[in-house]
Amino acid sequence: MVAKPKKNNMLKRLSSPAILSIASTAGALIFTSLILWMAGAQPGLTFQKILIGAFGDSVKIANGLVVWAPLSLIAGALIITFIAGLWNLGIEGQIMLGAIFTTGAMRLFENSSISPTLIIILSCLVGMVGGAFWAALTGILRLYGGVNEIFAGVGLNFVATALSLWLIFGPWKRPGVGSMSGTEPFNERLWLVQIPGYRLSIWSLILVVVVYIGLFILLKKTRFGIQIKAIGKNLEAARLMGIQTRKLMMLAMLLCGALAGLAGALQVVGVYHRLIPSISSGYGFLAMLVAMLANNDFFLTLVVAYLFSILNIGGIQLPINLHLDSTLSGVLQAVLVLFFLVMNGLKQRLMGRKERSRDAE
Amino acid sequence: MEIEIRNIYKSFGKVHANIGISLTIHAGEILGVLGENGAGKTTLMKILAGLQPCDSGEILIDGKPVHFHSANTALDLGIGMLSQDPLDFPMLTIFDNLYLGRRKRFFIQRNRFSKQVEKMEDLLGFQFKLNDLVETLSIGERQQLEILRLLVYGSELIILDEPTTGISAQQKKQLFELLKRLAGFGKTIIFVTHKLGEINELCQRTIILRQGKLISDVVLPCESSLLIQSMFGKAIDLQSPGDASQFEKHFEIQHLVIKDARFFSNPVDLNIRKGEILGLAGMEGSGQKTFLRTLAGLEKPINGMFLDEGYSLHWNSPHSFTKRGIYFMPASRMEEGLIQGMTLQEHFILSQTKDDFFVDRDESHKITEMRIREFTIRGFSSSTAEELSGGNQQRLLIAMLHENARLLLLENPTRGLDIESTNWMWKKLHERCKKGASILFASADIDELLRFSNRILVFFGGRISEPYPSQMLNSEKLGALIGGEGW
Amino acid sequence: MQSELLIGLAGVIASASPIVIAAIGETLTEKSGMLNLSVNGIILLSAMSGFIAAYDTGNLIAGYLAGMLTGALIGWVLAFCTITLNQSQVAVGLVLAFLCRDLSYFLGNDFMGFNAPVLHSTPLPFLSEIPILGSLFFDQTPMVYLSLLSIPVSLVWINRTKFGLILRSVGERPEAAFARGINVNKVRYLYTILGSALVGLAGPIYSLGLKPGWKGSMTGLDGIGWIVLAITIFGGWNPFRVALGAYLFELLRWLGLVYQIKLTGVPSQVLQVAPFPLMILTLMFVNMKNAEWFESFISLLPPPIYRFFSLKGKRRKAAPSSLGIPFRNV
């Protein structure tokens, strides 16, 4: 290729991902400091407390990982649909259905003679089916029902919430009276093995690694991965190339749902050991921010997911220490993504003028 | 109203759409503007109607220079334009369409404006139900609606860009009568077309544009051959490729009726032979695009069969067509052909129709490198499609057509290429033919059609001709057929 | 018994008022071709900001204005990011939805449980004495009157004024609107800000009237915004139908409360959230009419029945054609 003029090089360097993320982070920190100042808190002290809250002792570090595992799983699941150009907002419902199906399976097998390990594995698989089933509903509504996947997803989220509430207060209620604390906890032998002294299970970490390796291979090394990328980037061109767009979009939804279901299953068997009303803990939407900020890159997703988990855990102590609400972490997370989008837009505007003259050819 | 255009220049990037065009149009005149696709007709008209600024040059109305800041300024000055596709609002009512954009009052003055419209309707002999949606009208009626709108707003100069493309013969007759009547009222009409017959039928004078320049200014009526020569340049009769009728039969089309946005075609019967090249001639939007897409399985026909060596293809999914070796290459490179943000290597992976689950990156890298060399694409296997220049994108599209393709359906395969690249491209395509592939290609270039096709199908306003063996045609004859003469 | 029913229905009309206003605001935004997904966040944030403003100043009007200003600001951010910076409307809308929600909980934390002024009902003279109708419609708060008024006003604005026509044209076919001298992106900016300001008015209507005070995540406003979006879309972008959707939703909620006592089999927690999925599912099935298979299915039916169901040539419920699609003039 011909050597490019220097100015273009400068622009390219300015817009490189590293600079972009540093600029977004700086912008987000400044904005959040402003918010803190508005709330009458000292920004420096607050950030310090968040860090202490996240890394203060080994339990806290482990708790960060407890959040990181499901968050990474869900963000990984969302990457599949994002790459296929689908806004899968029904992710929350898919997590919940995973949890519901898993709980159902556990309750079914609880008193049987099957070995506990097998019960856990089976229940997780059932959970994956549950998540995939919920995602399939969204997919059918989008591809055959003329309902946009955003609204189908949001609607099904509400249905999933109602369903889990009904189960908790109805058929699966605790002996006596149902309560917001959830269903009766399972027998301890059916809990996912945890590292002694911590809430963390090594299995969920291993699962994340396995899933990510699988996802990496699926999306980078297989025809399926390249085809859904084509669909997401240019649906019409993909169709003209003879790619079976509907089938693949549906498959992407199913895969995403299954992984989200798995995350829900892990929350049941590994963390809460029962079904609780808000079993998804909002991780679905949070993972959406993670995937957006990481720009669908796997390694970055794991990093961003960890960053977001730290913020979540670090924020827990804020009400006690500084009388600040813990949602500060949520603000910081969302602001990061917003600034990332703004910076991205600014970059495109800077580069855009050159592009436009070339497009006209 | 007398309009004078002086020295208009306009370019898009490297492409010069208008080069120093000067012209005077008198009141009450019907002026024809003739030229092939890409000659710069539409650009000139958009400049005149204030829809696009020109790079340099002046426009004078009745001797006074004017500047258009927006389409509204032009409309205020009495210049109105009818686009090729009526720029109206299908989902709004006819009343709203007429009303939009020009009224100052806060509330819509329904009764007063309706009366105004009715008066104009009476004058022109139209009858619209103002509360119907525009969607319910035919293309011809929508044109009438646009003309009505411009007249209600007091336009003195009306520009019509290819208005007869999608309308019936009856509607065309009505339109011409209307335009003549308007000229009688002292309105000025500019009529842009590529159809020779219409120019002679309607206009008193025509200008001919070619490659952005005004080539000639002719008083009508005049010999068609003269017009064709100015339109397409010097007629060079080229050596046509030979007869292909002895080739083996490959594909068969029976009673195929295609559905375009604007028309149903006549039924087509056609045998496509092994190694044959079939050219589809006609101005853009005459149905060639739909024809190719129908054969590619991308659009469903109204009726008919498509047989591949006796096996009947079904329009269930485009996938089943590619599986049988039928490949399609769209004309718009970045919108439909290539995928922005994906690398050349990924494009080559997508274009292979293997059913393997895992993709061998090394192998595909090798294939990509090989194709890049073979097709002299300036780029790397890791370059993304949008990083290539237009010509190289075109080469990539050709390179992506599968090696074992049996039928290639190409939309304007050499558009935007220089002569050298065009020749090279055809060399590549001929290699495919030697391997037994058949090619159907659409082109707007008469020379290209005559030079490379064994047979030519002509498309005109939804009609599809019998295939003409290309040695029976010359540029003049083909030009006339494309212009709708000699059918 | 009858008066109980009347009180209940009057309550439905009152509690639907913020939804009506927000959904009409969103309708205006979407009519211009902009999709604002941040409604849920805006309602929460403006409920918080409106409450604090009214608490600080002791003035209700300041509260409502603060809410609208908050909404307008978020609307501007959305328009700036999507129109000027050319980012995806869905992405920016979603991020803003989450951001505003968390921001409202965070900033409102210090004001939890405080008492702010509350808007009381002001019966309209003479009108409120009409039997039945009087107590239903004319013995309400000014904000309810505003919500009732917003339906005909927006209908007239959209269908009977020059500006409404411009709005519709921009949402339907921006390139054609541009050809008629309309500054498409300016119109979109304006309606995104205006629509978001109306959504922002819904917040203080809750925090200064229906659910007085600010209780953080216990306020129970989370989720309303998604209902607003669903009502807008499935209500066919028609203010009247959209308002009807809002009343239907509140009616369901009221019925849930009423039957809580009678339906002992169903847990009360389920009855409280049931209207959300019920509403969205209903609307979803109504929307199925737009699917291609529906058209091809009914085309098999005899012509009179086909004409009755078909949307061809009616298109009343169809989305603005350019909804969510950016416009750039090359």
Q: Do B91 and C176 touch (CB under 8 A)?
A: no
Shared domain check, B271 and B223: no
Distance from the Cα of A266 to chain B's closest Cα (Å) equals 29
Residue B134 vs residue C29, higher pLDDT: C29
Max intra-chain CA distance, chain B: 74
Shared domain check, B259 and B224: no
Residues 6 or more apart from B431 whose CB is under 8 A from it? none
A359 within domain boundaries: no
Distance CA C251, CA C275 (A): 9
Confirm if B268 and B244 have CB atoms less than 8 A apart. Answer: no
Q: What is the pLDDT of residues B424-463, one digit of tens each?
A: 888 888 888 888 889 999 987 787 888 888 899 998 877 8
Closest residue, chain B, to C330 (C-alpha) = B52
- Using CB atoms within 10 Å of the CB of residue A112, give its burial: 0 to 12 exposed, 13 to 18 middle, 19+ buried: exposed
Is C155 in CB contact (< 8 Å) with chain B?
no
CA-closest candidate to residue A155, choices C34, C286, C99, C17: C286
pLDDT level of residue A305 (50, 70, 90 thresholds): very high
Q: What is the pLDDT of residues A220-264, one digit of tens each?
A: 888 899 999 999 998 888 888 888 888 999 999 999 999 999 999
Closest residue, chain B, to A220 (C-alpha) = B359
What is the layout of strands, in order, in the sheet containing B157-161? Answer: B79-82, B157-161, B188-193, B30-34, B205-210, B213-219
Confirm if B61 and B1 have CB atoms less than 8 A apart. Answer: yes
Q: Do B12 and A361 touch (CB under 8 A)?
A: yes
B64 sits in which H/E element:
strand B64-66
What amino acid occupies position B80? G
Shared domain check, B446 and B318: yes
A96 within domain boundaries: yes
Q: Do B107 and C313 touch (CB under 8 A)?
A: no
Shared domain check, B228 and B261: no
Closest residue, chain B, to C160 (C-alpha) = B108
pLDDT level of residue A356 (50, 70, 90 thresholds): very low
Residues 6 or more apart from C203 whose CB is under 8 A from it? C18, C42, C43, C44, C45, C46, C47, C48, C49, C50, C67, C70, C71, C221
Q: Closest CB to C165: pick one of B70, B99, B135.
A: B99
pLDDT of A5 reads: 42
Cα angle: A16, vertex A71, A251; to 5 degrees: 85
Confirm if B79 and B49 have CB atoms less than 8 A apart. Answer: yes
Tokens 């979803």 identify what position? C284
Q: Do C101 and A348 touch (CB under 8 A)?
A: no
Q: Do A229 and B13 touch (CB under 8 A)?
A: no
Domain extent, residue B436, equals 249-325+402-482
Q: Closest CB to C86: pick one of A161, A170, A348.
A: A348
Give the whole-number percent of chain C exceeding pLDDT 70.
Answer: 86
CA pseudo-torsion sign C155, C161, C163, C169 = positive
The CA distances from residue A305 to A72, B13, C6, in Å, are 6, 44, 52
Shared domain check, B268 and B203: no
Q: What is the pLDDT of residues C153-165, one digit of tens each?
A: 999 999 889 899 9
B361 within domain boundaries: no
Distance from the Cα of B330 to chain A's closest Cα (Å) equals 8
Is B319 in CB contact (< 8 Å) with chain C?
no
B487 within domain boundaries: no
Instruction: Identify the CATH number of the domain in which residue B63 sits.
Output: 3.40.50.300
Structure token digits, residue B108: 């819509």
Mean pLDDT in residue range C318-328: 76
For the cut 80, the answer to whether the pLDDT of residue A358 exceeds it is: no
pLDDT level of residue A9 (50, 70, 90 thresholds): low
Q: What is the pLDDT of residues C214-261, one digit of tens each?
A: 887 777 788 889 889 888 877 778 899 899 989 988 888 888 888 777
A321 within domain boundaries: no
Q: What are chain B's partners, defined as 3 or more CB pairs within 8 angstroms?
A: A, C
B415 sits in which H/E element:
none
Domain extent, residue A218, equals 60-282
Q: What is the pLDDT of residues B329-385, one digit of tens each?
A: 888 777 788 888 888 998 988 887 667 778 888 888 898 998 888 888 888 888 888
Distance from the Cα of A223 to chain B's closest Cα (Å) equals 6
B264 within domain boundaries: yes
Shared domain check, B114 and B45: yes
Shared domain check, B196 and B147: yes
pLDDT level of residue C213 (50, 70, 90 thresholds): confident
pLDDT of A339 reads: 92
B271 within domain boundaries: yes
B149 within domain boundaries: yes
ipTM of the complex: 0.87
Shared domain check, B259 and B142: no
Distance from the Cα of C2 to chain A's closest Cα (Å) equals 32
A45 within domain boundaries: no
Structure token digits, residue A217: 């291979």
Q: What are chain C's partners, defined as 3 or more CB pairs within 8 angstroms?
A: A, B
Distance CA B229, CA B446 (A): 12
Q: Do B101 and C318 touch (CB under 8 A)?
A: no
The three state secondary structure string of A243-296 is CCHHHHHHHHHHHHHHHHHHHHHHHHHHHHCCCCCCCCCCHHHHHHHHHHHCCC
B310 within domain boundaries: yes
pLDDT level of residue C104 (50, 70, 90 thresholds): very high
Q: Beta partners for B253?
A: B270, B306
- DSSP-assigned states of every residue in B222-286: --HHHHHHHHH-S--PPPPP---TTSPEEEEEEEEE-B-SS-BPPPEEEEEETT-EEEEES-TTS
For the cut 70, the answer to whether the pLDDT of residue C180 exceeds it is: yes
A331 within domain boundaries: no
B239 within domain boundaries: no
Q: Closest CB to C277: pick one of A158, A327, A349.
A: A158
A55 within domain boundaries: no
Q: Closest CB to B298: pick one of A221, A240, A358.
A: A240
Whether the link from the prior residue into B221 is cis, omega within 30° of 0, is yes
Shared domain check, B313 and B439: yes
pLDDT level of residue A309 (50, 70, 90 thresholds): very high
Confirm if A66 and A271 have CB atoms less than 8 A apart. Answer: yes
Q: Do A341 and C290 touch (CB under 8 A)?
A: no
How many domains are there within chain B? 2
- Using CB atoms within 10 Å of the CB of residue C330, give its burial: 0 to 12 exposed, 13 to 18 middle, 19+ buried: exposed
Q: Do C270 and A331 touch (CB under 8 A)?
A: no
Domains belonging to chain C, first-starting first, are 2-309 (1.10.3470)
Span of A80-84, B39-43, C1-5 with lowest mean pLDDT: C1-5
Confirm if A279 and A272 have CB atoms less than 8 A apart. Answer: yes
B220 within domain boundaries: yes
Distance from the Cα of A23 to chain B's closest Cα (Å) equals 24
Closest residue, chain C, to A180 (C-alpha) = C269
How many domains are there within chain A? 1
Q: Closest CB to A169: pick one of C87, C102, C270.
A: C270
What amino acid occupies position B298? L
The mean predicted confidence, pLDDT, of chain A is: 85
Cα angle: B459, vertex B467, B238; to 5 degrees: 90
Shared domain check, B260 and B225: no
Shared domain check, B50 and B91: yes
Shared domain check, B286 and B186: no
Residues 6 or more apart from B37 whose CB is under 8 A from it? B194, B283, B284, B444
CB pairs under 8 A between A and B: 84
A123 within domain boundaries: yes
Cα angle: B26, vertex B28, B34; to 5 degrees: 70
pLDDT of B165 reads: 66
Distance from the Cα of A339 to chain C's closest Cα (Å) equals 10
